[in-house]
Chains A and B, each alone.
Chain A
Amino acid sequence: MMISQFFVLSQRGDNIVFRDYRAEVPKGSTETFFRKVKFWKEDGNAEAPPIFNVDGVNYFHVKVVGLYFVATTRVNVSPSLVLELLQRIARVIKDYLGVLNEDSFRKNFVLVYELLDEVIDFGYVQTTSTEVLKSYVFNEPIVVAPTRLQPIDPAAIFTQGGKRMPGTAVTKSVVANEPGGRRREEIFVDIIEKISVTFSSSGYILTSEIDGTIQMKSYLSGNPEIRLALNEDLNIGRGGRSVYDYRSSSGSGVILDDCNFHESVRLDSFDSDRTLSLVPPDGEFPVMNYRMTQEFKPPFHVNTLIEEAGRLKAEVIIKIRAEFPPDIVANTITIQMPLPNYTSRASFDLEPGAVGQRTDFKESSKMLEWGLKKIVGGAEHTLRAKLTFSQEFHGNITKEAGPVSMTFTIPMYNVSKLQVKYLQIAKKVSSYNPYRWVRYVTQANSYVARI
């Protein structure tokens, strides 16, 4: 299970950090890796898989904020272990630096080396716990301004919205002190749900799934114990029934297909009262991951029509309706639809008085794009597009276009109805009252409507 080298490359292929633990892999592995990934064209795949073998050396990589985190080894190791490790190294570094990007990396590479030396020794993983690492690592992070940074995780959307949440929270290093010299006692619990829905051409749901995570980031001193209570009517597992058997959903309650937990989580009273207890380690980590196929109300309804309108013309109408309460606002909505490849032009017609909307026809990929800054619950929006074709079409035009796919983010809303009922922090003194933030967010993973 040992790895030979670890390195991080920029998008251009520059070494940002490079550590050789076992001196088994010949020189030039970074170049070999980068060439292979950049010019990958094997069995029709345009994208290099996360693991490949060149001349007996196995290369593993994950992409985080546009950087390549790479490990090499000659040994037949567990692939999950190495990929998990790479992801974890990225998280540890992020915990330390507050923000993770090329700039913060370059400014803090000595600290990163210091971390890497403690995370891996002679190719064997020692620890990836930010908590444990804190006692071995001495460099102070040089903090990089988070403003022009790409967010690393879904929780980062809270920093965009502004007022409701403390903006610096997710980009704060776990070790750096704030300007005042004192650390603010606070804890964040984010319930992040990614939803996948496929609608058939007639509008009914073919498949739907929620992949959720309860993510925690603690800045509490003294490691107090925390109790997290979930819905009392929460059920796990769907018995012997098929996962897609919707009959069971007529009853109330939240039914998860399955879930897993972070190792710090104690489940002693989970069966009786659905509480999780844990002493949260420093840094960001998932308390619980869950998966749900129970029927839920999709937040958006999409209606698409494509019709011939003459020999070389057709019209597309896309209608979306927000199926959530009016006090909830979805943001950064993008709708995409591939058009027939003989489409030469598209002109758009937005509804009168439309604000914060943009439309685009990407000539090279024949892609229609419609962006909306926000959609208020209950609202309905329509786009009409007139297409011009370069040649006459034959056959069925609906086979040549679509499906319509959608991405969006809905803060303070979750479709599963899973809830954190309370977040209890064991008190040391009566005056101890740290900030607690419990936040919900729903994002589209694969939200597709066929036409």
Chain B
Amino acid sequence: MSPPATSQRYPSPSQPSGKSEVSDLKSQLRQLAGSRAPGVDDSKRDLFKKVISYMTIGIDVSSVFGEMVMCSATSDIVLKKMCYLYVGNYAKGNPDLSLLTINFLQRDCKDEDPMIRGLALRSLCSLRVPNLVEYLVGPLGSGLKDNNSYVRTIAVTGVLKLYHISASTCIDADFPATLKSLMLHDSDAQVVANCLSALQEIWSLEASHSEEACREKDSLLSKPVIYYFLNRIKEFNEWAQCLILELAVKYVPSDSNDIFDIMNLLEDRLQHANGAVVLATVKVFLQLTLSMTDVHQQVYERIKSPLLTLVSSGSPEQSYAILSHLHLLVVRAPFIFAADYKHFYCQYNEPSYVKKLKLEMLTAVANESNTYEIVTELCEYAANVDIPIARESIRAVGKIALQQYDVNAIVDRLLQFLEMEKDYVTAETLVLVKDLLRKYPQWSHDCISVVGGISSKNIQEPKGKAALIWMLGEYAQDMSDAPYILENLIENWEEEHSAEVRLHLLTAAMKCFFKRAPETQKALGTALAAGIADFHQDVHDRALFYYRVLQYDVHVAERVVSPPKQAVSVFADTQSSEIKDRIFDEFNSLSVIYQKPSYMFTDKEHRGPFEFSDELGNIPITPEASSDIVPAQQFEANDKDLLLSTDEKDDNKGLINNNGSAYTAPSYESSSNTITSQMQELAISGPATSTTTPQSSFGFDDLFGLGVSTAPAPTPSPPLLKLNPRAALDPSAFQQKWRQLPISLTQDYSVNPQGIVALTVPQSLIKHMQNHSIHCIASGGQSPNFKFFFFAQKESEPSNYLAECIINSSSAKAQIKLKADEQSTSQAFATVFESALSKFGMP
């Protein structure tokens, strides 16, 4: 569809303005409409082309709708196609006129020529006019049974179009069932593929309110269906292959033989020239082997070469898409790619978005054996004419220095940058040297001698200047003229435009003063006076604060402003490992390109049909809920594989780095444990202490998480299940389990009115369930629909229960889906869950 000609931003002289031409066309079309003269089709073709070309450039030609329909009585297929295109474009805006077209379209649906039948059916379904749906059912029904596969492929997609215009009409006509049978029996691969995509879309949308659709959706992932597709995958074209592979990603294999069968079946897909097929295959391989550490690593080795070939064989755009995925894998498992670092060298003619990715990859793979070469290469880029890339390269050198144990050589190289005397190089380098010194104070002497030689006049960029000033303050005792440089800078206070620099100047003057008071006193006075008079609020406040604290007691001031420093062991990582894992789960999607999980850039319904892995992500984890998640983030670091969890990798890095410095932080694990248990206590004791009424004994009972005694037990009481009140499960493990386990139980409950009232604060349910040892891992939604994901663990053994709980507060109904490691005990857990829920809101 073309946008109407409301605004034409970039008019070109060849494009007509509209009105008179359109009315001209109208009269010409009218003349031809009734004519049967020879050659009339050719004249019609010319006119139709004009209409379509106006439509394309955005001129509104809807006013000739009637004439176009009149002219459509023709056997010329090219004319018909143009007419269909036109009608499809304007029907929605002209529902009354659309009725005119129904007749001829319906007639064409019965044409002898399958081509015309198909085209007419496609146009009929593309009208998108709700009150015309009654005319669709008949032609669609016969289209699905047509003996020509072209017509059938169009009819299948037509069903999906109908569903989007009127879901009820589509369901009532039982079309999904027909599609399912076509999908499993039709001889034409494209018909089958279209059935699959249509059913995925329909069932995913239906699943939110139909139990049956939910089951049907799951049935697509059953072993027979998956193998039905995988065994004949080569009969499908490359695009349909991607569809099938996307489906296979969600299949839960029954055992390791199953896994190897699938991988052997798909092995040759890795040699496909189409990058989309290869990436979809890679995703299947990675997901299938998540729980098999060795094989998972072999998969990485196996896919490396095909991905590198794709990077170098496609257009820059295609390379970028593949490289983004390679980037993800490299950052996840740098050691596997350490020997391939030369592939990530930048080529001089590559677009900067590619170079940026490559620089990050080089940073990631740098280790003891290749650092020298990588840093040498990066130093070449630092002199590059492409300034943003030069800057990135310098930063990359710095990052490598920060992550290496032996940085001796790198520091030298960084210091050489300063000798290049290029503004931006110096500025970037100073920032890095500053960070390096914060981590490796032992290098200060080498750095200081070079930094001391830099004239602050040559640095224009605030970040670089601020870094230099910081070093002047911090190492005032080692740089003989530090007070004088600072004094100079302070004298030019008025000319310093950056507040950041002025703030640093204040602090540096203070630090310098504590170390070399006689030389700095005057400059500090000037700085404080200028700072207090500064129009910038922060600068003013800091100056005043310094002034007052100095007045109060100089020693206190020194302890505040310049306390003994501990080396920084790890700089904060910008992305949490949970997010990284989520992106990995969304491999082969835009999440990898944007380096964000999908919930951060798409709304729920567009996250892609059939995204099981998204179910958890659909729910924005609210800050309140996240405090409840804390216990869940506790995990055992030692038995996890590097590939499987970025959490652990980061931890290790932290620990290793700690060894290198004097300062040893308490390990993450123990600290998070402490926090965890504190949180747990808080959460548990909270409700109990707050209920001061005599009924508080109920709350106390609940503390033990059994609470069945007071519940009205509608079901015969199953064996009592004891749950671990301190169960822990991290979100990614939850997500993985949720994806892999089958639903063992689905139940509907009524929620009592008190519960519904209490639900106005959804957090209260989370607290309440936690008192029953059922922990919330994510929650979301808005009145009247709330969604919670819970988990629980058996008291005695690490056997997990997962539950999805959807509560509709207006109907007071709750729907629970349970998954369990041990299927046999899921009924027992359901009873505990129900009993806990039934007491929600009760005093």
Is A18 touching B309 in the complex (CB atoms < 8 A)?
Answer: no
Alpha-carbon gap, A403 to B345, bound state (A): 15
Q: Which chain A positions have C-beta within 8 A of B315?
A: 62, 83, 87
| A128, CB-defined interface residue at 8 Å | yes
| B305, CB-defined interface residue at 8 Å | yes
Given A14-B10, A136-B150, A237-B305, does the pair A80, B588 have CB atoms closer than 8 Å?
yes
Is B280 touching A394 in the complex (CB atoms < 8 A)?
Answer: no
B31 to chain A, nearest CB (A): 21
Residues 75-86 of A, flagged 1 when their CB comes within 8 A of B and 0 if not, give 111111101111
| B758, CB-defined interface residue at 8 Å | no
Is A446 touching B347 in the complex (CB atoms < 8 A)?
Answer: yes
**Nearest neighbor of B324 in chain A, beta-carbon distance:** A79
B461 to chain A, nearest CB (A): 13
* Surface stretch bound by B, among A51-59, A158-166, A217-225, A344-352: A51-59
Q: Which of B77, B353, B593 contacts A79 (CB 8 A)?
A: B593
Residues 1-37 of B, flagged 1 when their CB comes within 8 A of A and 0 if not, give 1111001011010010000000000000000000000
* Surface stretch bound by B, among A118-126, A412-420, A428-436: A118-126
Residues 63-96 of B at the A interface (beta carbon under 8 Å): 77-78, 81-82, 85, 92
* Surface stretch bound by A, among B380-388, B510-518, B665-673: B380-388
A210 to chain B, nearest CB (A): 9
* Surface stretch bound by A, among B205-213, B605-613, B749-757: B605-613
**Nearest neighbor of A53 in chain B, beta-carbon distance:** B601
Is A138 touching B78 in the complex (CB atoms < 8 A)?
Answer: yes
| B153, CB-defined interface residue at 8 Å | yes
Is B318 touching A75 in the complex (CB atoms < 8 A)?
Answer: no
Q: Which chain A positions have C-beta within 8 A of B380?
A: 403, 450
Residues 6-61 of A at the B interface (beta carbon under 8 Å): 12-20, 23, 27-28, 30-31, 34, 43-47, 49-51, 53, 56, 58, 61
Is A258 touching B275 in the complex (CB atoms < 8 A)?
Answer: no
| B466, CB-defined interface residue at 8 Å | no
Q: Which chain B positions have C-beta within 8 A of A2?
A: 197
Is B276 touching A47 in the complex (CB atoms < 8 A)?
Answer: no
A16 to chain B, nearest CB (A): 7
Alpha-carbon gap, A83 to B319, bound state (A): 10
Is B273 touching A289 in the complex (CB atoms < 8 A)?
Answer: yes
Is B274 touching A84 in the complex (CB atoms < 8 A)?
Answer: yes
* Surface stretch bound by A, among B234-242, B547-555, B686-694: B234-242
| A300, CB-defined interface residue at 8 Å | no
Given A1-B246, A446-B349, A446-B350, does the pair A257, B309 have CB atoms closer than 8 Å?
yes
Is A258 touching B190 in the complex (CB atoms < 8 A)?
Answer: no
Alpha-carbon gap, A129 to B274, bound state (A): 13
Residues 260-295 of B at the A interface (beta carbon under 8 Å): 271-276, 278-280
| B536, CB-defined interface residue at 8 Å | no
Alpha-carbon gap, A446 to B345, bound state (A): 11
Is A75 touching B272 in the complex (CB atoms < 8 A)?
Answer: no
| B620, CB-defined interface residue at 8 Å | no
Q: Which chain B positions have C-beta within 8 A of A51?
A: 320-321, 590, 593
A416 to chain B, nearest CB (A): 13
| B567, CB-defined interface residue at 8 Å | no
Alpha-carbon gap, A354 to B30, bound state (A): 68
A34 to chain B, nearest CB (A): 7
Residues 56-72 of A at the B interface (beta carbon under 8 Å): 56, 58, 61-63
| B619, CB-defined interface residue at 8 Å | no
Q: Which chain B positions have C-beta within 8 A of A400?
A: 383
Q: Which chain A positions have C-beta within 8 A of B448?
A: none
Cross-chain pairs A/B with CB under 8 angstroms, 30 sampled? A13-B9, A14-B12, A15-B58, A16-B56, A44-B392, A47-B352, A49-B320, A50-B353, A62-B315, A76-B598, A79-B592, A80-B321, A81-B276, A84-B318, A85-B276, A87-B315, A114-B78, A121-B153, A121-B157, A127-B239, A129-B237, A243-B342, A243-B343, A257-B305, A259-B309, A260-B271, A260-B273, A291-B313, A405-B348, A446-B350
Seed contacts A15-B57, A258-B309, A286-B273; 9 additional CB < 8 Å A-B pairs: A43-B356, A44-B392, A45-B388, A51-B320, A53-B601, A80-B321, A84-B274, A258-B305, A291-B312
**Interfacial residues, chain B to chain A (CB-CB below 8 A):** 1-4, 7, 9-10, 12, 15, 48-49, 52-53, 56-58, 77-78, 81-82, 85, 92, 115, 122, 128, 150, 153-154, 157, 160-161, 190, 194, 197, 237-239, 242-243, 246, 271-276, 278-280, 305-306, 308-310, 312-318, 320-322, 324-325, 339-340, 342-343, 345, 347-353, 356, 380, 383, 385, 388, 391-392, 419-421, 586, 588-594, 598, 601-603, 606-609, 611
